[in-house]
Structure 1
Amino acid sequence: MRHTLPIAPQFYVTAPQPCPYLEGRMERKLFTALQGDDAARLNDSLSQQGFRRSQNVLYRPSCADCAACLSARIDVSQFQPSKNHKRTSRRNRDLLRRATSPWATEAQYALFREYLEARHADGGMADMDVFEFAAMIEETPIRSRVIEYSDPGQEALIGVSLTDVLEDGLSMVYSFYTPDRPQASLGTYMILDHIDIAREAGLPYVYLGYWVPGSPKMGYKARFSGLEVYRNGEWSPMTDPEAYEDEMHPLSADPIAEQVANLHLPDRRASGG
């Protein structure tokens, strides 16, 4: 009888560095390479356990004394747009959406630079050059798409999302948009549009990355109904955001070895006859 064996990727931990979300804290990431014939299956499995993709790497925050970063996704079946969401959809209803293969363009990079300079001038991506940007877009071993948004009759881009297609949803890897339309709430609109895309494709979830209690940068994610967070090894509906403050307690993080031991990895496909 032939048995299948679990994929056994090697996991590593980054050196501590200043946390981009909570002042005075240090962040650390658990990560593994995403490569080979089983890359898509590994990405699907670990995404369902709170990991995110960055090029050919899957990572999850694994800080020594903090577990505040919680992976967040929207359950499409439970999402109900708020009044503000409906207004945002109406403001942007004439925008054109175009889905393309993950190929970087000069127009994308120009918009990316405008976005960073206006919103994240002191962030970790501020010094990214055109080659690094191209790598971010193009270096993907799985099924990815670039979703572009523009005005009717105009070639200029106003929004872009690098989006992975998972077995159970869409993962918004990175989004950026023009800073010249603050009233349009383009970031929120792109999430709303991805909910529509997922619903049309019969995919149950839209993965949004991490929600961090106490971080103003992440507050907007808690305003989507149907939001779930990955906590204590399982997905659960978001409750009162203030109920998650205990995740910043020094004893809230499990040891690295325990985290890795508790991961569920996909089985290798049986080979041969």
Structure 2
Amino acid sequence: MRHTLPIAPQFYVTAPQPCPYLEGRMERKLFTALQGDGAEKLNNALSKQGFRRSQNVLYRPSCADCSACLSARIRVADFAPSKSQKRVIKKNANLVRSASSPWATESQYALFRDYLDSRHATGGMADMDLFEFAAMVEETPIRTRLIEYRDKEQPAIADPYDGLRAVCLTDVLDDGLSMVYSFFAPELMKNSLGTYLILDHVQIARELDLPYVYLGYWVPGSEKMGYKANFKGVEIFRDGAWEALSHPDDYTSEINPLTVSPIAEQVSRIKLPES
């Protein structure tokens, strides 16, 4: 009888490219493929160690001389909305949430395009066409949901978004929800929809009895990512462990090569799920 040993994930490093968060810096990512029967367990294990999913890849920043990017999550049990966040919830009370399997539609893409053109016209996703958008949404080997928000007070007639106002691609982990990517109608920016989506995901996690909502990366010194520090109960992943976020000014985005471990050492510290 022939026995085959399970194949351990292989880790790779991307070539340096301009950092999207801090001007004048170069970013580099450590990544591995997310595939096969063990994809769910691998995603659960690596998400707890600061990795994020993009389609069939799990990645984590591994820049040569900078360690500013810190994975962030909200401890649901410790979260309580601030006064301003309560106002955001009230502003968006007209939105109705629905969840479905990850399946891309033309109305989603229309909303996505307007969102990019308004907020990220020069970003890495600016040229994404409908087929690439569909791949981003649909190519997932794990339990993923597409959470849509529609305006219950506004008819969908003559609406290019078919009543859609916001969308979030969300992974369901064994210990929480991971907000993979979200976008919303640019004309509703004044309603703080980005903040509202996080607040609503905290509520969904409570309904599902899940302890965390994973937010992606918080970057001190980046205006684009600074809002993630405004939520009570935020933890960051630093030096191999989760810790409560203290005052944002206590963290630095200064370049310091001594804070970055060699790639081989980083990989050796990754805890893989048991076969």
Where structure 2 has 5 or more consecutive residues not aligned to the other structure, the ranges are: 157-162
- Aligned partners of 1:183, 1:16: CA distance in 2, in Å? 35
Determine whether 1:207 maps to 2:214. Answer: yes
Q: 1:247 to 1:201 in 2, by over 3 A?
A: farther
Look up the match of 2:97. Answer: 97
- Aligned partners of 2:172, 2:79: CA distance in 1, in Å? 19
Look up the match of 1:117. Answer: 117
> What letter is aligned with 2:235?
E
Question: 1:111–1:178: 8 Å Cα contact kept in structure 2?
Answer: yes
- Aligned partners of 2:136, 2:253: CA distance in 1, in Å? 34
Look up the match of 1:69. Answer: 69
Look up the match of 1:226. Answer: 233
Look up the match of 2:224. Answer: 217
Determine whether 1:108 maps to 2:115. Answer: no
Look up the match of 1:245. Answer: 252
- Aligned partners of 2:122, 2:237: CA distance in 1, in Å? 29
Cα deviations across residues 96-154 of structure 1 (Å, max 9, x unaligned)?
A: 10101000000000000000000000100001011100000000000000000011153
SS at match of 1:254: coil
Look up the match of 1:177. Answer: 184
Report deviation, 1:6: 7.6
Report deviation, 1:183: 2.0
Look up the match of 2:45. Answer: 45
- Aligned partners of 1:71, 1:101: CA distance in 2, in Å? 26
- Aligned partners of 1:65, 1:29: CA distance in 2, in Å? 13
Question: 1:6–1:265: 8 Å Cα contact kept in structure 2?
Answer: no
- Aligned partners of 1:246, 1:129: CA distance in 2, in Å? 34
TM-score (norm 2): 0.94
Q: Give the superposed CA RMSD.
A: 1.2
Report deviation, 1:250: 2.3
TM-score (norm 1): 0.95
Look up the match of 1:12. Answer: 12
- Aligned partners of 1:132, 1:15: CA distance in 2, in Å? 22
Residue correspondences, number:
264
SS at match of 1:74: strand
Look up the match of 1:56. Answer: 56
Cα deviations across residues 206-258 of structure 1 (Å, max 9, x unaligned)?
A: 00000001000011000001000000000000001121106642211111000
Question: 2:66–2:253: 8 Å Cα contact kept in structure 1?
Answer: no
Question: 1:108–1:157: 8 Å Cα contact kept in structure 2?
Answer: yes
Question: 2:219–2:253: 8 Å Cα contact kept in structure 1?
Answer: no
Report deviation, 1:94: 2.1
Cα deviations across residues 158-204 of structure 1 (Å, max 9, x unaligned)?
A: 10000000000000000000010122111100100000000010000
Look up the match of 1:190. Answer: 197
Where structure 1 has 5 or more consecutive residues not aligned to the other structure, the ranges are: 269-273
Question: 1:246–1:252: 8 Å Cα contact kept in structure 2?
Answer: no
- Aligned partners of 2:187, 2:250: CA distance in 1, in Å? 35
- Aligned partners of 1:53, 1:191: CA distance in 2, in Å? 18
Identity of aligned residues (%): 69
Determine whether 1:139 maps to 2:139. Answer: yes
Report the more deviating stretch, 251-260 or 239-248.
239-248
> What letter is aligned with 1:15?
A
Look up the match of 2:160. Answer: none
Look up the match of 2:159. Answer: none
Question: 2:220–2:253: 8 Å Cα contact kept in structure 1?
Answer: no
Question: 1:144–1:165: 8 Å Cα contact kept in structure 2?
Answer: yes
